[in-house]
Structure 1
Amino acid sequence: MKNQEIERPSGRVLHRPLRIAAWVTFVVAAQSAFAQSAAGVDAAAPDATANAAAGSAPAASGGEQALPVVKVTAAQQSDSPLNLNTPVSAGALGTRSQLDTPFSTTIVTGEELADRQANKLGDVFAGDASVTDNSNGYSAWATYISIRGLPIDWQNGFRINGNPFISYGITMPYENLERVELLKGLGGFMYGFVQPGGVVNYVTKKPGNEPVTSVSVGYRMDSVFSQHADLSRRFGPDGMFGARINYTHEAGKTYNAGDINRNSLAVALDGQLTRDLDVYFDAIYQQSRSSGQTPAIYTGSYTGTSLPATISGGTNLLGGTDQHLNTNLQLYTAGVNYQITPDWSFKTSASYSKSTRDRNESTLTLLNQAGDYTDNRWNGDEGHQDIYWQGVFEGKVKTGIFTHDLALGASWQHQTNDYSAVSHSFTLGDGNLFQPNPWRYYSGAGLDKYRASEITQKALFARDTIQLTSRWSLLAGLRYTNYDQQTYNVDGSLASSYGQNGVLTPTVALMYKLEPNTTLYASYVESLEQGAIVADIYANGGQLLRPLRSRQYEVGVKSEHGRWSATAALFRIERGAAYANGQNVYVQDGNSIYEGLEAGGSVRLGRSWQVAGNLMLLDTWYAKGQQYNGQRVAGAPQFVAAGRVTYDVPQLPGLQVGADAKFTGSTKVRPAGDLETGGYMIVNVGANYMTRIGGHDVTLRAAIDNITNRRYWMFQYSDYIAPGDPRMVSLNAKIDF
């Protein structure tokens, strides 16, 4: 087995596979016993439908009224809190329920996003212990998260309705989304070249059978006000055509004395032309302008072994309004779904995305424990384009006693990256974290750009799910990719290139239905990630590195029931290691190993209480390299736990209150392992109230994030930290017409 190929450092106490497997069994068994006991106590209680009919306090089923729960939820589903029967998209695997997906996944619904009033990607997955928040709102770091200790790939790890786009600096208009899906771990077979952290897929709102007309207004500290409108209709003969439009505007003063002005528009059109033929067109346009971002803090040349005293993320001491981030996102998608026969269908889609940004931002190079730093400013314009096409035949055939669920497809993707032609990186001067930053540098946009790199992927893929018996099934898939990556000099000449044909990324999984609502699985998947272009802060800046291969082994269980749900997974990920060595050269050297356990569950207690919990145990180390062997991998906490309690107030039908907490263990900041953030716990509270006013449904929401105003250092990226977000108050009122 591959486990034997990676040397374990001597003297380490590791989570042995059998020990962790025992923990999986214990956790799931305990969750099941506790949930069944709790369900039995309230076996005689009327269901939510009966309660609603009687006019009593609603016992929200699934995600219909629940505030953000720990792992996965789907709004408007007759489903339990984890919603494992909810469909999740997984690229070449197709769309299947979470229960039948042999990998760990998470879904956060639009209702949860609204209840939490998410402001950055870390907020979206605040209830998932496998996701660590490295993000910083209103800045280029707003989508930085780690999954199982691995960073997400900003070039290949983000999708909108399954279509790729460049996410760097882009905060999605969460108000316009139906849900957010997360595939944890490797996505090589499913999506092609991608880093092994995971893949985030944003699903936009689509026209439904029922008309929608809603308007909401919101407030967020210090004085950011927002407005959102959602309109959906079907028209034409028998409702043949559908249209849905979502618009969001947000503007005001942010918590760190910065400014934000954002406009987002999402349009979804569809046509059911015949019984077997559907067509659709989606478009997203967003323009965002923000200033006053909190700078990131670089520790690569810091000689201390402990960080300075923590500071508030709400401070305006570190920067000023001269720092800015202006972004534009455009995505256009068209597709056709054709049901060829009752058993076979063909789906094809094409998309074009374009994202641009101009930014003027500081990176503070930390010098000592007293908080002294050097302010290094970067100013430039950047742009990306992504053209993508995919076509897939899906169908079922029988060979003897076996049934095959097949998918045969092809895809083509071309990505371009444009950067400023002239380097605008310079040093402003020195300062101190606990004193106002004295340096200012104002700049505009419109700097000349050049074509810095191009990446082309051409792929064929096939997937077969074989139903061996009524309980056993086997999934096997293979992606064949021709990959080409080129980088260019400012004058347009070729600087370096990498190309390889016939790259194979397989996956295989064995699934067993213990009962209709419980799936046991074991899966294996491989992935390649594109070679990094080394940043200018390193001695070998501009160098193109070769692609890295990763492998993932996972065993897990998913169980979904009316009043309780539970999941658990044991995983091992082997990834080529890349880091800055002692000479400040960014190198690929050895491997980084991730072994861990994640487990979660949710249970409804009586008519009013719902309790959810989620944890991750993670052991990581560098192996087979020239440096850092045996050290924990930077950015990977050993322990994370999250929990949530919600209560439907019986004295006031429609009112639900809740509290959630997340503890993140101490995280190594850099590969040398001599600097760490320290552990911290964040507590959030919230409430929502659903009522009717003037014959219209009205939803009032309030949320307080980090209610204790905890100060902490947050890991952002290897060698980078930032102060965690301060206490934040958000309010929202929505009316449905």
Structure 2
Amino acid sequence: MTHYFSNAPSLAATFCAPFFATVSQAQNDVDTTVELAPISITANPIRLPSASLTTALLPEATGGQVASGSQLGLLGNRNRLDTPFNVTSYISTYISDIQARSIADVVAADPSVRVVFPRASYRDVYYIRGFSLFSYNMGLDGLYGIAPKQRYPAEFAERIEILKGPDTFVNGVSLGGSVGGAINIVPKRATYDDVTALTTSFESDSELGIHVDVGRRFGEAKQFGIRFNSLVNDGDLTLDDQSSKLGATALSLNYQGDRLRLYGDVGTQRQKVDAVDWVDTLAPGVNKPPSIDDHTDLGQPWASFTSKDSYAAVRGEYDLTDQWTAFSSLGISTTETTGIFVQPTNLKANGDYLAAIRSFPSNGTSVSTQSGLRGTFNTGPLDHSLTLATAYWHQDLKAVSTAFGSYAANAYNTISQPKPNTSAIVDLDDIHKTSQVNFSSVALADTLSVLNERVQLTLGGRQQSIQSDSYAAQSGAKTSSYDRSAFSPALGVVFKLNDYLSLYGNYVEALQQGPSVPNTALNYGDIFAPVVSRQVETGIKAEIGTWFTSLAAFQITQPNGNTDLHTNIYSLDGEQRNRGLEWNISGALLAQVRILGGAMLIDGRQTKTADGVYDDKKAIGVPKYQANLGLEWDTPVPDLTLSTRVIRTDKQYVDAANTQSIDAWTRYDLGARYSLKGVMDKPVVLRVAVENVANTRYWSSASTGQVSGISRATPRTLLLSSTFSF
């Protein structure tokens, strides 16, 4: 039996700014297969995989930046031409090439994704197709609630996979939902080739880092694998008075037998960010925010957050026959975040604002499981790829908010304030759990295909149950509860006109937990009942020689929530409807030139609002268009690659009435990478990159919901790194 392991990452990285570089093409084209037994099963990457190969990583696509397919939860790994959804999978080579420090740096390459929380903060929050996705809603090898809650080190990822649109059908329900799209992290695992790499890094102003990556396979048939990653970053960043410390370790074990495959992943990390940045809010009547130096700290040097995370996950697969495979996975994680922050509120055109001092420590434990049976069979002329699966996710959470008053300040003349007496912050050990959630589901999916899989129809659905209880922190008394079940149907279709061109469409529904009230609203702590969102999508995909492109049209509707500017009460108000066109392109345009990017035209509207007050108004934080263009060029100078990227985002509205907005913005990035030979002729890769090379000053995003406000852009940032392979 032939099993496919992920390509060994070159670890030669470039930068994550818009002028990137790529390691030599040879490094991007390594084919790694492991022969474990005399029986050979070959999976055609353009066809649906057998049951035993549905979790094997698909090979990288031409260009060495993205993969030829990705995981689709319930449906297993699918080649992108065989997928009735729009998906992109960024590979480890690209992650290292752009010197990505977190998942946010990787998804910045996607025109459908924007980061809506300041880079100078301690967490990542995204908008995908105009809907929010929190970092704690990302999957870790398909399991929700297991990855570190605030930020995940991108250096530990083999693949970063983005599925556009609701993912409830393929992945199940996550805590905050993922209506616009989902992000899944595939951790690094041992490859056929040995990996021993040491990477040193520098980020302006003075943060230094070191990353160790070691991987080996053992056994007569290389059936045992181990991969170890560890990194430490420490130093000052570009925001005034800001510094960051991160220590993280991850260990991956796996066994690849004739019929049995086992995987285990454990990790721990601790992050501390001083002078932490936050989203800002505009004062009523202020049409546009003032232009503020991006280096200016609108908070205080003593504002600091510390997060600690530990996780463990195991997964097993057993081939009952050549056509049927049983699978199961289990993950558990613990998380804790403590600290104090300053949020600029009521920001005025002259720079005046009211700085609110707050704290909301939290900790929690999550348990996530999946089990199922996957197989293939025929009924007459129809070929079937069937999956029956169950999923369960449980979380116990403690969280409490404390306000320490506020002070008047001005963004153009910031003044240090004494740190308040924080003795009022509640010790998490002294309170009861404040919430408990249980998500459970049973899902069935059948992909029927005819004409040598030229026509594929996926039918299925997920019966879901959401049970949530809230409790008073001090007494432990239950304050609210709901228990709701619903069936979410799904339909997907693929018409493959030939091996290189396919048409696709889908209809999916998503049941998700009701929105949580942001901590800035008066009714913070309220939790709304589950809501149902829907998507309709159609598109075309083409593999044209050495490059790939796709065009999709979609509509997503979701019950909407807003914070009233006058009452400061957050409530569900009507529906948000996002319609859009999405274009993606990747691959090698020429032998030495690679492209990665695309554009999204989107019309986000509010509908069905109370008394029609905001009907047809633009949705908060949803621009008319977003565009990305990244290019890499292998210059005539041997082993020297230059890169560039441009990111463009149109004007965004800040409030539901569309009276406040932030301007359109453009960011330019540059990079270069040079590869040379080091010890024992092993490669050494040197990288340099500059993000926001023009040092453009702008407000990058507006958002609503649990994170409501506007975020400042990151100023010009220099990135340097060197990777030594041994």
Of 559, 580, 587, the match for 1:596: 580
Q: How does 1:539-618 map to 2 (within 5 A)?
A: 539-581=522-564, 582-602=566-586, 604-618=588-602
- Counterpart amino acid of 1:351? G
CA distance in 1, matches of 2:224, 2:328: 19
Deviation at 1:77, TM superposition (A): 4.5
Aligned counterpart, 1:327:
307
Distance 1:78 1:485, change over 3 A: closer
Answer yes or no: is the 8 Å Cα contact 2:370–2:392 preserved in 1.
Answer: yes
Deviation at 1:138, TM superposition (A): 4.6
- Counterpart amino acid of 2:287? T
Deviation string for 1:523-557 (max 9, x for gaps)?
10000220233234323332221111110000011
Answer yes or no: is the 8 Å Cα contact 2:58–2:79 preserved in 1.
Answer: no
CA distance in 2, matches of 1:58, 1:625: 52
Unpaired stretches in structure 1, ≥5 consecutive residues: 1-56, 66-73
Answer yes or no: is the 8 Å Cα contact 2:164–2:181 preserved in 1.
Answer: yes
Aligned counterpart, 2:346:
366
Paired residues in the alignment total: 663
CA distance in 2, matches of 1:374, 1:468: 64
Aligned counterpart, 2:46:
none
Answer yes or no: is the 8 Å Cα contact 2:104–2:115 preserved in 1.
Answer: yes
Aligned counterpart, 2:683:
697
What is the RMSD computed on CA atoms of the aligned residues? 2.3
| Residue 271 of structure 1 pairs with residue 271 of structure 2 | no
Aligned counterpart, 2:717:
728
CA distance in 2, matches of 1:298, 1:606: 46
Aligned counterpart, 1:484:
467
- Counterpart amino acid of 2:645? D
Aligned counterpart, 2:366:
386
Distance 1:440 1:628, change over 3 A: farther
- Counterpart amino acid of 2:332? Y
CA distance in 2, matches of 1:324, 1:459: 39
- Counterpart amino acid of 1:434? Y
Aligned counterpart, 1:172:
152
Aligned counterpart, 1:684:
669
- Counterpart amino acid of 1:552? Q
Deviation string for 1:594-631 (max 9, x for gaps)?
00001122463443223444111011111111131110
Aligned counterpart, 2:416:
438
Q: How does 1:67-466 map to 2 (within 5 A)?
A: 77=59, 79-81=61-63, 86-140=68-122, 142-155=123-136, 157-165=137-145, 170-193=150-173, 194-256=177-239, 257-272=241-256, 274-299=257-282, 301-308=283-290, 310-316=291-297, 318-420=298-400, 423-441=401-419, 443=422, 447-448=427-428, 449-466=431-448
Deviation string for 1:48-71 (max 9, x for gaps)?
xxxxxxxxx997389569xxxxxx
CA distance in 1, matches of 2:139, 2:322: 30
Deviation at 1:657, TM superposition (A): 0.2
CA distance in 1, matches of 2:466, 2:524: 23
Answer yes or no: is the 8 Å Cα contact 1:62–1:77 preserved in 2.
Answer: no
Aligned counterpart, 1:34:
none
CA distance in 1, matches of 2:628, 2:354: 37
Residue 295 of structure 1 aligns to a residue whose secondary structure is coil
- Counterpart amino acid of 2:607? A
TM-score computed with the length of structure 1 as normaliser: 0.86
Answer yes or no: is the 8 Å Cα contact 2:126–2:134 preserved in 1.
Answer: no
Aligned counterpart, 1:675:
660
CA distance in 1, matches of 2:301, 2:451: 64
Aligned counterpart, 1:27:
none
Unpaired stretches in structure 2, ≥5 consecutive residues: 1-21, 31-55
CA distance in 2, matches of 1:714, 1:138: 13
CA distance in 1, matches of 2:360, 2:607: 38
TM-score computed with the length of structure 2 as normaliser: 0.87
CA distance in 2, matches of 1:678, 1:371: 17
Distance 1:270 1:604, change over 3 A: closer
Deviation at 1:350, TM superposition (A): 0.4
Aligned counterpart, 2:52:
none
Residue 363 of structure 2 aligns to a residue whose secondary structure is strand
Answer yes or no: is the 8 Å Cα contact 2:342–2:356 preserved in 1.
Answer: yes
| Residue 60 of structure 1 pairs with residue 25 of structure 2 | yes
Aligned counterpart, 1:632:
618
Quote the sequence identity (%): 26
- Counterpart amino acid of 2:445? R
Of 469, 474, 481, the match for 2:457: 474
Deviation at 1:238, TM superposition (A): 3.1
Answer yes or no: is the 8 Å Cα contact 1:525–1:551 preserved in 2.
Answer: yes
| Residue 532 of structure 1 pairs with residue 532 of structure 2 | no
Deviation at 1:366, TM superposition (A): 2.1
- Counterpart amino acid of 2:406? L
Deviation string for 1:117-167 (max 9, x for gaps)?
223443212221111222323524x31111111111455x31111111277
Answer yes or no: is the 8 Å Cα contact 1:139–1:169 preserved in 2.
Answer: no
Distance 1:294 1:268, change over 3 A: same
